[in-house]
Every structure is written in structure tokens, then in C-alpha cells.
Amino acid sequence: MGDLLTVKGIGKVIEGKLSNIGINNCLDLIRAFPQRYETHRIATYGEAELSKEIVLSATIVKNASVAYIRRKLTKMTFVANIAQHEVSVAIYNREFLRSSMIKGAEVVITGRFEYDFKRFMATDLQLKKNYQEGIIPIYNVYNFSDKVFAKIVEGAYLLVKDQLIDDIPKALLEKRQIIMIADFYRIVHHPLTQTDITNASLRIKYDELLKFALKIVCMKSINEQIITRAKTYDISQVRHFIASLPFELTDDQKTVTNEIFRDLKKPRQMMRLLQGDVGSGKTIVAIIAAFAVVSGDEQVVVMAPTEILAHQHFETFTKLLSPYGVNIAFLSSLVNERDKSQIRNELETGTINIIIGTHALIQDQIHFHRLGLVIIDEQHRFGVRQRKALREKGWTPDVLLMSATPIPRTLAISFFGDMDVSSIRSMPEGRKKIITTVNDYSHYKEVLEHCVIELKKGHQVYIIVPLISENSKIEFAAVDTVLYELRQIIPTDFPIAALHGKMTGEEKNKILSAFSHHKIAVLVATTIVEVGVDVPNATEMIILDCERFGLSQLHQLRGRVGRGGNQAYCHLLTDSILIGTNRFAILETTTDGFAISEEDLRQRGPGEIFGEEQTGIPKFRMANLIIDQSLVEQAFEDARTLLTSSDPLSQELVAKTFFGIKEPNLD
């Protein structure tokens, strides 16, 4: 819609630049929305309050100086005059601006007066001549300044505004008080008030969520046609097994077990997500379900994302179920070819009741005698196609997905379409809260001293780092560097070893076995230990450069300690808390995985946490499935209305959605 060369200000050179970023016509151009808006207003000195952010104009009266504090951290300071008041200004990691911060320079500073009105901690700094007041759209488009890009967008809008037609029924837009498309494009690029920004963002969010919800609703209508055989199982055997356990199930475990059993009895395929915090007892629920299916002469497959986790499941299932005559096998890429061949034969003849393994389970050569249940642990680590390939190993087997990254119910429904969601929120009795602290690197020495205290008690320690080897371009802690440093600090009585993803499977198993048997005191590792490592004697974890990880991942990692009866500790170290807000504070105050996951999703969005490929969730421009939960619910309600509407526009939108569905199931 609209030739770019007809837009004022666009010639062949700019047309080429736009083409390089996928903008080929006027409609593409006006759909390049601002990434955010900045409301620029310079306040007066009299408006300042301690510890409250403010933007002020200042004149530098003493040249800036830079102090190099430590790795990745510099501090620039200068003296400025603000409304006849002399103020000392400091800002971290802005040393590249030093040459401009000279006596007489007029600047605009953003930040806070911290202890009094003579010391200002800045978070942003720029020359006053470059500062523009008002509501400024920020596009961040490659090869274009925001000002130039805004100008050509305005020109394109003027050319095509009369051709813009809504693809959402007017009745729905009016019901939700959403602006029409022509008004939207006008204000999204040139808002005059905060209300304009609110209305524009609401239109983007609603449009995204409605079309996503419609896809989910359409998929649900397809999935409802899938039938399977109802399970027949020996309930007396199952009850005897539960009664023989060395512990009593929690109320939540009992509830979700009953939910799963109701599903197994139905002639519809079970598609259930079982979510719960680290250590909440999801595995025993899965074992009970697997035992029930096996008692009905059907097979069960359990797939985990890592060999470590898969092998842990194999050991747990075997310990509990082998006394009942259940034949359990393990399969991964490390199993030799002769044993693989035997396993394949026994699966096909039905000799093996339960097979547990990794991606090796979805190979074409794997066939089952009578597959009745698929269990996928840490399911978000697998892609949609991988999960689908495993489901298709049997005649529509029931499916139980498990996740230790709990998410709110509304979001779970959005993720998994018509899938039912079971949650275990309560923890087994006796588990102590892990004491968690967040500090900058000036506390590293005292953290290590605390680590040595735990070692002298006979306990073990994890130290988590983001990199395997040092990288000259990325200044973060690495396994090899930290390993060397620790050997100079930790007493030689305490053996130290490393664990990371580049090791062979045999090397990993050897290290983990030594750590499990207390032959290694300190394990320096990457996030490879996030799942599947269970060492009850480990009581301390140090996570270096924790800004490299999300909140849910940090919570998962600290779940490796405190698995015995001793008090456990987790120390998060990052200098990022010196130059911004402490986004890790929630980890100090709660161990509730649901609350932590919700905050993580609020900060980063689901795609950043789970990955678009794993969830099937699109990367929204603006909508956030946590922050916008009420709008999500409205979108699903309206999507169901569209599905049954006789309105031509509604039917056209539904038809396009059905046509665009490529997978028969969304999981």
C-alpha cells in the first residue's frame, strides 16, 4: 500500500535503507511503531525530594574525573551548579562522556538526591543542546535517527490514512473502548498526551491478544475431535503402592493425582500440565500415574531434557516401582548400539513397561507395543515439534507435561490452549527456607569466608558462573578463571572441580558422582546443574554475575541447595545493583516459585523465559500476558464470540486463522 518514493523526504538512498530492514511500502512504514516513548520535562530544583527520581538542568563548574573501581565498574564525578546550588554529581559506567563533561558545559541529569541535596546520583546524562522536551517516540531503527524516522512515517501516514480499514468488527472495538485503526495510526506516532499513549498501546495489545486468542480457540475446536481409549487400571494395586510410600502425600499431591486419574478414565486424550515449585513433589505424582497405566497393560515413556535429569528419574522410578515387577529401561545417546537394539525390541514386544530417557526417545526407530502415557519433564525445554513427535509414538496416548517453572493459570491457559492445568503449591514438611542475599562484588570476600565455614562443617558448595571460558568481548565470570582463583583461596583440604556443557557425558557423570559421594567439596559449574542434581549435603550456593540470569532460573538454581535438613544459603553477586534498581530483591524475601515466576514474566515476558519455539507463543510487540491479564481474558471471550458469529468480517478473520494453523495441537 503506497509507493515509498511518493513520500516526502524519501529518495532512492533512503528507500534502499528501508528495504534493507523489511520496509517496502507505506503500510510497512506506518506499522513500524515506536518501541517506547520518553516524556521529557526538566523540573525545578524546588521540586526535588530525597530518593525520588527527577530531571534537572545543570552547568558543570568542575571538570569530570573518572575512578576505575573494579572489573566492569567505573564511576564518573563532577561538580555542577543547579539553580545557584553547588552539587556533586556521580554516575556509573559513563566514562566515555568524560571529554564532554567540562567546566561550562550545560547538561541535563536524571537521577536522585540520595542523602542530602548536595549529592546527586545520576542514572542518565546528556548535553542540554541534545535534550528535547515533550513526548518523544523512540523507534531505535537501524541507520535512522528517531527524528528523521518520525518525519518520514508522518509523510507516509498522510498518503494512506484514507485507505486504512479495520479487520476487527466495530462492535468488539466499541465494546472494549478500543480506538479505530485510522485514529490509532495517527496517535501512535505522534501522541500529544499520556491518554493518547494509553489508547494507542491498548489498541496494539488488544489486536495482538485477540488474534492470538482466536488461534488458541480455533485449535481447541480441532483438539476436541481427538479421541483415545479410556484407561483401565488396577486401583487396588495403585492404592497399595501409595500406602507403601515412606511419606504421606500432601493435600495438593492428592488433588492433582485425582485430577489425573479422572482424565485417564475418559475417552478423550489427556493433555495436562503439572506445575509446581522445586521440591514440591511432582515426580511422585508422575510415578503414581505411570504405575496405574502399567497396571492396565499399557506402556509409559518419560522424557527429560538432560541426561542428568533423565538418569535421576530412572533411579527414582526403579527404586519405587521395581519391587512391583515393573520393567524400567533407560535410553540416551550414550547407550551403546547393542543395548539400544535390545531396548527397541523389548519396547516393540511390550517387555519394557516404562522407558525413561532424553531426545533419543523420539528417533524414528523407536516403536511401542501399546503406548498409553507420555510424560515430559521440564517440558518448556523441548520444542513444539519434539513434543509432538513423542506424542505420535502411540495411538493418541495421554500426555502429562511437568514444569518446575510455575506460571499463573491465565498464562498457562494462554500457553497451552485447551490443556488442563494442575498446580502443587504446598511444600513437604520440614523444608527450611533458603537464606538468600544480593550484594555487589565488594562483599565477595565475606561470602567466600561464609562458604569456608560451611565447608568446615562438612557441607558442600556450588559456585555458578555464566561462562565456560573467559571471553575478551564479554566481561563475565567464567569456569576456568573462577576455578583458578578459588584454588588460591579455598583451603586445600576441600577438593574443587568444574562442571559444564562442553564436557562429555562420561566426564559429567564422573564429576556428579564424585560430588554426590562427597569426594568433591566445591563444584564450579554453569547452569547445567539447574535441574536433576540432588545432593542433600550441599548447603551453600554462590551465583556470580547473576544479572545474566532470569529470576525463575535463579530460583531453580538455588533449589539445588537445602535439600537435606540443614540450613542453606544462596548468595547472588552483581555490580548491576549499583547502577540501577535491584530486580533480584524478590529472591531475598520469598521462596514462592509462583510469585517469583510471575515477577520474572512481568519483567521479561514469556518469550524471553521459555523461548518462542518451545511455547508456540508469538513475540508480542507490546502485550504482556502477566501485566495484561484482564485484557487477555477479554480477548479470549471475544475470540469465542468471533468463532460463532455470522458477521462477515468475523467469519473472514476466523477463516484466516484456521487457514494459518499448521499444527493440529498447541502445547
Which of 69, 104, 128 corresponds to the end of one domain?
128
Q: Among 465, 461, 451, 434, which Cα is nearest to 537's?
A: 461
User: What's CA 397's distance to the chain center, in Å?
Assistant: 29
**Residue 544: partners with Cβ closer than 8 Å, 6 or more residues away:** 463, 464, 465, 466, 476, 477, 482, 573
Residues 520 and 384 placed together within one structural domain of the fold: no
- Is position 458 within any domain? yes
518: left (phi over 0), alpha (psi -120 to 50) or beta: left
CB contact at 8 A, 238 and 296:
no
* b/e 308-347 (16+ beta carbons within 10 angstroms → b): bbbbbbbebbbebbeeeebbbbbbbeebeeeebeebbebb
CATH number at residue 403: 3.40.50.300
242 with 366, same domain? yes
Segment (H or E) for 84: none
Q: Where are the alpha helices (DSSP H) in 571-619?
A: 585-589, 593-604, 606-610, 612-615
- How far is it, in rounded angstroms, from Cα 309 to Cα 402? 13
Q: What is the pLDDT of residue 475?
A: 65
Single residue among 553, 572, 590 that ends a domain in this structure: 590
Residues 556 and 440 in one domain: yes
Say whether both 419 and 440 belong to one domain: no
On whether residue 168 sits in a domain, the answer given is no
499, 512 Cβ separation under 8 angstroms: yes
Could you tell me if 456 and 575 lie in one domain?
yes
- Domain range for residue 524? 435-590
Sequence-distant (6+) residues with CB within 8 A of 572 are 436, 437, 438, 439, 543, 546, 554, 584, 587
Query: Does 380 reside within a domain?
Result: yes
Residue 166 resides in a domain = no
pLDDT at 416: 58
Query: Which residues, 6 or more positions from 62, have their beta carbon under 8 angstroms from its beta carbon?
Result: 78, 79, 103
Q: In what order do the strands lie in the sheet with 371-376?
A: 328-331, 354-357, 299-303, 371-376, 398-403, 271-276, 420-424
**Domain boundary pick from 539, 569, 590:** 590
| Separation CA 321–CA 327 (nearest Å) | 8
pLDDT of residue 473: 53
Q: What is the pLDDT of residue 638?
A: 94
Q: Are residues 355 and 449 in the same domain?
A: no
Q: Do residue 417 and residue 459 come from a single domain?
A: no
Q: Is residue 485 part of a domain?
A: yes
Phi/psi of residue 167, nearest 5 degrees: -105, 5
Residue pLDDT, tens place only, 356-373: 998 778 777 888 899 999
Interatomic CA distance for residues 229 and 251, integer angstroms:
29
Q: What is the pTM of this model?
A: 0.66
Contact 352, 327 (CB under 8 A): yes
Number of Cβ within 10 Å of residue 512's Cβ equals 24
Q: How far apart are CA 384 and CA 554, in angstroms?
A: 25
Is 477 in the same domain as 385?
A: no
- Enumerate long-range contacts of 637-641, CB under 8 Å, 24 or more apart: 638/172, 638/175, 638/176, 638/210, 638/213, 639/210, 639/213, 639/214, 639/216, 639/217, 640/217, 641/172
Any domain includes 615: no
Domain count within the chain = 3
For residue 50, the tally of other CB atoms under 10 A from its CB is 10
Question: Residues 396, 336: one domain?
Answer: yes
336 and 307 belong to one structural domain: yes
- Which portions of the chain are predicted below pLDDT 50? 381-383, 387, 609, 611-615, 662-667
Q: According to the model, what pLDDT value does residue 603 have?
A: 75
Question: Residue 599 falls within a domain, yes or no?
Answer: no
**Dihedral angle sign, alpha carbons of residues 367, 373, 378, 379:** positive
Tell me, yes or no, whether 406 and 450 share the same domain: no
CATH number for position 108:
2.40.50.140
Residues 293 and 358 in one domain: yes
The answer to whether residues 544 and 573 touch, using CB atoms and an 8 Å cutoff, is yes
What pLDDT shows up at residue 664?
36
Q: Decide if 464 is inside a domain.
A: yes
DSSP code of residue 647? -
* Predicted pLDDT of residue 613: 43
Secondary structure of 117-163 in the HEC alphabet? CCEEEEEEEEEHHHCCCEEEEECCCCCCCHHHHHHHHHHHHHHHHHH
Say if CB 475 and CB 516 are below 8 A apart.
Answer: no
SS3 call for 298: coil
Residue 273: the pLDDT is: 86
